[in-house]
Amino acid sequence: MSQSTTLTIGYPKRPNPRQALFHSIDARFRLFGGARGPGKTKALVMEALYLGAAYPGTEIVIGRRDFSDLGITTLAEFLRSCPRQLYEPPGQYHRTKHQMTWINGTRYYFMELKDPDSLLSANLGAIFIDEAVEVPRLTFANAVGCLRISPEHRIANMTLLGIPEDEARAQVMASEPIKYYCCLASNPGPGWVKELFVDNSQLIEDGVYQTAEGFVFIPARIADNEENLPPGYADEIAKTYGESERRRFLDGDWGVFEGRIFPTFYRDTHV
Q: What single letter denotes the amino acid at residue 203?
A: L
Beta strand 29-34 with 181-186: parallel, antiparallel or unpaired?
Answer: parallel
Alpha helices in 2-136 (DSSP H): 17-24, 40-54, 67-72, 74-81
**Model confidence over 87-132: pLDDT tens digits?**
999 999 999 999 999 999 999 999 999 999 998 889 999 999 999 9
Q: What is the model's pLDDT at position 260? A: 52
**Model confidence over 69-92: pLDDT tens digits?**
999 999 999 999 999 999 999 999
By three-state DSSP, how is residue 43 classified? helix
The answer to whether residue 135 scores a pLDDT higher than 80 is yes
Q: What is the model's pLDDT at position 221? A: 83
Q: What is the mean pLDDT of residues 156-177?
A: 96
Q: What is the model's pLDDT at position 32? A: 97
